[in-house]
Chain A
Amino acid sequence: MKLFTLYNLKGNVNTYLVGHESGGDALIIDPGHIDLFLLNLLEDNNYYIKSILLTHDHENHTKGVKTLMRIYEPLIYSKRAMISGYPSTTITPNSVLNLCGFNITVIEIPGHSDDSLVFRIRNALFIGDVLSAGKIGYTSNPIAKKLLQDNIKEKIFSINEDLIIFPGHGPPTTIKAEKEFSSFTF
């Protein structure tokens, strides 16, 4: 598995490209912005985007969908039926997807948004805005905050501590580090 992190200054959003060593079908997680750098990266690695995975339907994480649809016509996977005017395959929480040769475990963590999903590929967790290093995601009210905290504790902190977390914003972290050093008490 090859993983590329792409950082978009607009909104400080991370986009993740996951592919094989040998090129071929690849998937992209949260395409907040598509630029020439990413397109060159895809060509240099002989990647063809077959799937888009969305952790949640917020514009700063989905803005690049239209561009990718025009070039590659990939299938979109999210919790919504439509994304940016394109049909999306609605993912069932707790399911395992097989996309581009990768087994992807889907974990539902509502709170930041009602459609928030976390994707586990091998020992990497693509967590969107559920949390970032040292904090949990933004919530609009105390009930959503409690829901998010409870879900993180139950569904994320119960997994292997060595798993690496790739958030939608900011640097990578680990489950162990978030358990110990988050500014939120769980």
Chain B
Amino acid sequence: MFNSEICAISKCDAIKISGYKTCYRHIVNKKAFEVNILNYLNLNEKFLDLNITQFPLNNISIENKRFYSCKFSEIILTNVKFINCYFWQCFFDYSEFENCSFINTNIKFTCFAGSVFNNCNIESSDLLHTNFNGIKSDNFSITGADLYFSGFVNSSLHNTLFYDCNLKKVNFSKSIRKNVSFKQSNFGDAIFDNWDKVEEV
């Protein structure tokens, strides 16, 4: 599912925030909004079409939640832990992750394009068909993850570890990799340059 209702403010074509008539930028009382959204996250386990674009989320552990077609674009997460969560077709594009963890959290058909990961880790999680194109990472570790058919095209990976990961059909074309380790991972099945020599759609 996918919500596409537009902000009520004239000439603004951003998607409106869930439960509000406007996008995050046009919400007048942002403090009240933050309280509402944190309550909403605490009280529910399953979220459909939740849109909290640009919302800053700090020092929180989110456990046993399922997110479907949710929009978290340009969100800023600091010290956030996702434990036993599930994301299906969600958007975290152009977001910032600082000291964040994804543990036993399965992520499918999700877009992290253009995001920044600093001091983050992903453990024992599936990241199938996930779009990491253009991400920038530093001190980022992904361990025990299935990344089948995911993409890191044009990404800039620094001090990044892929440990015991399935990298089949993972696309690293045009990525910059400094101090990147693929220990115990099948990087031979991944796609590196030159793109013209590999399978296309």
- Using CB atoms and an 8 Å cutoff, list the residues of chain A in contact with chain B: 1-5, 7, 12, 112, 122-124, 129, 132-135, 137-138, 160, 162, 164, 167-174, 176-177, 180-183
Contact = CB atoms under 8 A, between A and B. Distances in A.
Contact of A137 (B113, B195, B200): B200
B2 A134 contact: no
Interface string B143-154: 000000111011
B113 A173 contact: yes
A179 to B, nearest CB: 10
Contact of B133 (A3, A122, A129, A134): A134
Given A132-B201, A172-B89, A174-B93, A3 B1 contact: yes
B139 interface: no
Contacts of B134: 177, 180-181
Contacts of A129: 201
B93 A3 contact: no
Interface residues of B, number: 35
A177 B1 contact: no
B148 to A, nearest CB: 9
Contacts of A1: 2-4
B114 A177 contact: yes
Contacts of B149: 12, 170-171
A183 B154 CA distance: 7
8 contacts: A1-B4, A133-B113, A133-B133, A134-B173, A137-B201, A167-B201, A172-B110, A177-B133
A173 B115 CA distance: 13
B133 A173 contact: yes
A135 B171 contact: yes
Given A129-B201, A133-B153, A135-B153, 4 more contacts: A134-B154, A171-B129, A180-B134, A183-B154
A177 B154 CA distance: 11
Contact of A133 (B15, B69, B131): B131
Contacts of B3: 1
A142 to B, nearest CB: 11
A72 B4 CA distance: 27
Contacts of A123: 4, 6, 13, 15
A5 B151 CA distance: 19
A174 B1 contact: no
